[in-house]
Amino acid sequence: MDLLNEEGISKRRSLKLLDFPKSTYYFNPKNEDEIVVNEIRRLAFKRKRAGYRMIYKFMRKAGWRINHKKVYRLYSREGLKI
């Protein structure tokens, strides 16, 4: 993208030429997953027999606003098992 700006084409025009959404270009992902993964790992090591569903329930009770699918995805990615 910056190469096109050096040639005198604006970002908006270059994005339009490439048929690339502006929202995708300017999207800044949040790194909240590290905080959530740390909490999942902490609960998993604290309660050895807890699966992702139980960890999800513990997190919801503690006030976390998180989806069970995200807990499962992160739990699996970390290789945690009962």
Task: For residue range 8-61, list pLDDT tens digits in order.
Answer: 788 888 888 889 899 988 888 777 788 999 999 999 999 989 999 999 999 999
pTM: 0.63
Enclosing domain of residue 50: 33-77
Residues 39 and 22 occupy one common structural domain: no
| Residue 21, domain member (yes or no) | yes
Where do the H-state alpha helices sit in the chain? Answer: 2-6, 11-17, 22-26, 33-46, 52-61, 68-77
- Name the more confident of 65 and 7: 65
Residues 24 and 59 occupy one common structural domain: no
Question: Up-side HSE of residue 10: CA atoms within 13 Å toward CB?
Answer: 4
Banded model confidence at residue 72, pLDDT cuts 50, 70, 90 = very high
| Residue 47, domain member (yes or no) | yes
